[in-house]
């Protein structure tokens, strides 16, 4: 199967990581799973091939998604990676924080896997400049 790109899924809930992984793999993506923001940043700094897209949960321990996105955007090597936050944290202040954080898209849990795949597909093909899917 031809690959659609490399996507890293960062979430502290194994079932969510599996759900996202399975749906993306069915679409031809290569997927790597990570359990929190600290693991994500450590892995990003040690690899040569960066992911085409990252999906990121907001609430994780010890380092959450807000911490991770701030570190990604301040690092020139990582700043161009599209990041989609997939989270159950959907309060108004979370959406406001997402707007100023450098996230490329915000997806509320529970989510439709087809909608997430459409976002990943757009960002994998067009980078951070890709328009969000409708």
**Does residue 11 belong to any structural domain of this protein?**
yes
The number of folded domains in the chain is 1
- Locate 94 and state its tokens: 């979370």
11-31 pLDDT, tens digit each:
999 999 999 999 999 999 999
52-79 pLDDT, tens digit each:
999 999 989 999 999 999 999 999 999 9
**Does residue 65 belong to any structural domain of this protein?**
yes
**Does residue 131 belong to any structural domain of this protein?**
no
**Does residue 45 belong to any structural domain of this protein?**
yes
Query: How does the average pLDDT of the chain come out, rounded?
Result: 89
**Does residue 90 belong to any structural domain of this protein?**
yes
Residue with tokens 């795949």: 117
* CATH code, domain carrying 70: 3.40.50.2300
**Does residue 129 belong to any structural domain of this protein?**
no
DSSP the chain: ----EEEEEE-S-HHHHHHHHHHHHHTTEEEEEESSHHHHHHHHHH-SS--SEEEE-SS-SSS-HHHHHHHHHHSTTTTTS-EEEEES--SHHHHHHHHHHT-SEEEESS--HHHHHHHHHHHHHHGGGSPPP-
Range of the domain at 52: 5-111
Whether residue 132 is predicted with pLDDT greater than 70 in this model: the reply is: no
Q: How confident is the model at residue 43 (pLDDT cuts 50, 70, 90)?
A: very high
**Does residue 124 belong to any structural domain of this protein?**
no
**Does residue 53 belong to any structural domain of this protein?**
yes
């Amino acid at each position: 199967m031809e690959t659609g790109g490399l996507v890293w899924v960062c979430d502290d809930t194994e079932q969510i990581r599996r759900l996202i992984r399975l749906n993306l793999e069915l679409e031809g993506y290569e997927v790597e799973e990570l359990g929190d923001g600290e693991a994500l940043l450590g892995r990003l700094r040690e690899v040569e091939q960066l992911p085409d897209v990252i999906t990121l949960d907001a609430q994780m321990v010890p380092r959450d998604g807000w911490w991770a996105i701030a570190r990604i955007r301040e690092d020139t090597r990582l700043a161009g990676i599209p990041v989609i936050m997939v989270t159950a944290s959907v309060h108004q202040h979370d959406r406001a924080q997402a707007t100023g954080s450098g996230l490329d898209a915000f997806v509320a849990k529970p989510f439709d896997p087809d909608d997430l795949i459409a976002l990943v597909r757009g960002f994998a093909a067009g980078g951070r400049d890709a328009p969000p899917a409708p």
